[in-house]
Chains A and B, each alone.
Chain A
């Protein structure tokens, strides 16, 4: 299975700041088949980005994704109060999909 390692585990930032989250794969992710999800406390995960860089329906343009191969990045250009949450990456390039362990973005 492809192992996804997210960094950092926790990111402490202030509203208005830029957040950069990393997701590194143990082997190349076929076809840039990588997604990012946001999970707020007590809520179900929400799809933000798919195919590494495509925003899902209704996702604000302050969220962007990039990367290929084994290194992927989720960027939140200016943090809004509702963006403080846990973010997960997921690869779906192999028959057995996997998630990263998550990055918590908390208010500094």
Chain B
């Protein structure tokens, strides 16, 4: 069965970076794009970007461009999302979700807390 398993919760100080992983199993990793979506406490869903596991090409939401980097490791079927220059407003649950378009499988989410 398809599974997306994310890394554990993180606590970071403002200005730091965080790197969240998402390990895929149960399907051919290179056949599906992977998205990252975040959700601040009590708020809605926010699309952050997408990565093509085959070649590593990415598209980021304009809001995060310059601050986010999405990468993948095809040997371990894992995608990564790194967000830099963290501020308190980045406190959220970060999800990976399988594409390429509608998101049919989601990771369990990773809570990133930013506070000093």
Which A residues have a C-beta under 8 Å from some C-beta of B?
1, 33, 35, 37, 39, 44-47, 50-51, 56-57, 86, 88, 90, 92, 95-102
A96 touches B59 (CB 8 A): yes
Q: Does B32 contact A (CB under 8 A)?
A: no
Would A98 and B47 count as touching, CB distance under 8 A? yes
CA distance A51 to B104 in the complex (A): 12
Contacting pair B44 A88 (CB below 8 A): yes
Known: A88-B45, A90-B47, A99-B44. A47 touches B59 (CB 8 A): no
Partner of A99, one of B45, B99, B101: B45
Bound form: Cα–Cα A25–B101 in Å = 17
Whether A102 contacts B45 in the complex (CB less than 8 A), given A96-B59, A97-B50, comes out as yes
Least Cβ–Cβ distance between A48 and chain B, in angstroms: 10
Besides A1-B62, A45-B45, A45-B95, 13 other A-B contacts (C-beta < 8 A): A35-B101, A37-B103, A44-B95, A45-B97, A50-B101, A51-B102, A56-B104, A90-B47, A92-B101, A92-B102, A98-B47, A99-B46, A102-B45
Cα–Cα distance between A104 and B27 once the two chains are bound (Å):
33
The answer for the CA separation of A79 and B110 in the assembled complex, in Å, is 31
Interface residues on chain B, size class = 20 to 34
Q: Which residues of B contact A90 (CB under 8 A)?
A: 45, 47, 102-103
* B72 interfacial contact with A, CB 8 Å: no
Q: Which residues of A contact B62 (CB under 8 A)?
A: 1, 96
Q: Is the CB of A44 within 8 A of B44?
A: no
> Counting CB contacts under 8 A, is B106 at the interface?
yes
Q: Check B47–A99 contact: CB distance below 8 A.
A: yes
Q: Which of B60, B99, B102, B104 has the most CB of A within 10 A?
A: B102
